[in-house]
Chains A and B, each alone.
Chain A
Amino acid sequence: MFNVFDAILGMFSNDLAIDLGTANTLVSMKGKGIVVSEPSVVAVKTGPAGQRKVLAVGVDAKEMLGRTPGSIVAIRPIKDGVIADFDHTEEMLRYFIRKVHNRKNLVRPRIIICVLKGIKK
């Protein structure tokens, strides 16, 4: 029963495949090929009251690596093939998915993501 529902939704959803890599993140969409290919870097600005704002993701954030003042951190949230910083990884994935997925569709995208063989965390 549930599978039938899934199958119908599947007809409308944009299927995404994501390669969440240490250096680069790639997203491909069914029928469209690769839609995102950017470095896995996020730049976050911390405000005076501690509020955090994502400044840049991907290529723009990579430009900032090693060139940031105290209030901004540009980081690579994935280290040695594992997610080292969940919050920033989440922000980055959110950005990439928003970038390619049309929210007006009202259908959640079906996403496939690869993991490392031998991952134990």
Chain B
Amino acid sequence: MAAAIGAGLPITEASGNMIVDIGGGTTEVAVISLAGIVYAQSVRVGGDKMDEAIVQYMKRKYNMLIGERTAETVKIGIGNVYKVDDEVQTMDIKGRDLVSGTPKTMEITSTEIREAMTEPVNAIVEAVRISLEQTPPELAADIVDRGIVLAGGGAHLKNIDVLLSEETGLPVVIAEDPLSCVVLGSGMVLDQLDLLKQVAIST
């Protein structure tokens, strides 16, 4: 919800907005209309799972142990979830060879990283697809026009918008400054306390 406000979606209007927030630990998909959540789903797949998948992939394929920090750096550096052209990026990664036990450097390509991240990325695509299936038809019609908005750090992942748009057939846009959407949205309701009353959850 906060991400939707931060991304500048017209959440108080009677029209469907779909927001996908790919965070570090979870990915949340929500359909919002009239300042309320119509449907929301949260899957425990996010940036961390992708890092983990890269670590596992390196271990399986090259018998090389790398740290999660390194995996994250690789993901941010050359991570690319959808093949658009034949451009292949490479990056040197350092880790420990499990066979000899010594540290070493290896060159890895963006194609391999894409392969490594397939599983977590597919889980996100699946979550979006399920949410679309559960959306009431009138709102689904609005989403066809407006598309899906991506927020969260995961929206920085290269070509994630192209992939989602390819898989769903809908326009996908990345929010301006996706990482800050949630905090900006929360800050915005501070300025508009009547809006806060509408969206706040009582405990």
- Closest A residue to B37 using CB positions: A117
Count of residues in B whose CB is under 8 Å from the partner chain:
33
Are A17 and B187 within 8 A (Cβ)? Answer: yes
Are A22 and B1 within 8 A (Cβ)? Answer: no
| In the complex, chain B residues whose CB is within 8 Å of the CB of A21 | 23-25, 153, 182
| In the complex, chain A residues whose CB is within 8 Å of the CB of B68 | 65-66
| In the complex, chain A residues whose CB is within 8 Å of the CB of B180 | 26, 28, 34, 37
Q: Which of A1-24 contact B (CB under 8 A)?
A: 15, 17-19, 21-24
Are B182 and A116 within 8 A (Cβ)? Answer: no
Are B187 and A28 within 8 A (Cβ)? Answer: yes
Q: How far is the CB of B50 from chain A (nearest CB, A)?
A: 11
Are A80 and B25 within 8 A (Cβ)? Answer: yes
Is A118 interfacial (CB-CB < 8 Å)?
A: yes
Is B44 interfacial (CB-CB < 8 Å)?
A: yes
Complex Cα–Cα for A112 and B44 (A): 24
| In the complex, chain B residues whose CB is within 8 Å of the CB of A82 | 25
| In the complex, chain A residues whose CB is within 8 Å of the CB of B120 | none
| In the complex, chain A residues whose CB is within 8 Å of the CB of B196 | 112
Complex Cα–Cα for A21 and B179 (A): 10
- Closest B residue to A32 using CB positions: B187
- Closest B residue to A30 using CB positions: B190
Is B85 interfacial (CB-CB < 8 Å)?
A: no
Complex Cα–Cα for A50 and B1 (A): 42
| In the complex, chain A residues whose CB is within 8 Å of the CB of B1 | 114, 117
Q: Residue-by-residue, is A90-121 near B (CB-CB < 8 Å gives 1, otherwise 0)?
A: 00000000000000000000101111111000
Complex Cα–Cα for A30 and B190 (A): 7
Are B69 and A22 within 8 A (Cβ)? Answer: no
Known contacts: A34-B184, A66-B68, A114-B186. The answer to whether A19 contacts B30 by CB under 8 A is: no
CB<8 Å pairs between A and B, sample of 26: A15-B187, A17-B187, A18-B186, A21-B23, A21-B24, A21-B25, A21-B182, A23-B24, A23-B153, A26-B179, A27-B183, A28-B180, A37-B180, A66-B67, A81-B26, A82-B25, A110-B190, A112-B190, A112-B196, A116-B28, A116-B42, A117-B1, A117-B28, A117-B37, A117-B42, A118-B42
Identify the A interface with B (CB < 8 A).
15, 17-19, 21-24, 26-30, 33-34, 37, 40, 62, 65-66, 78-82, 110, 112-118
* With A24-B24, A112-B189, A117-B30 already in contact, 4 other A-B pairs whose C-beta atoms are closer than 8 Å: A62-B69, A114-B1, A116-B42, A118-B42
Question: What are the 9 tightest A-B residue pairs by CB atom distance, in nearest-first order?
Answer: A23-B24, A22-B25, A22-B24, A17-B186, A81-B26, A26-B183, A19-B183, A28-B187, A19-B182
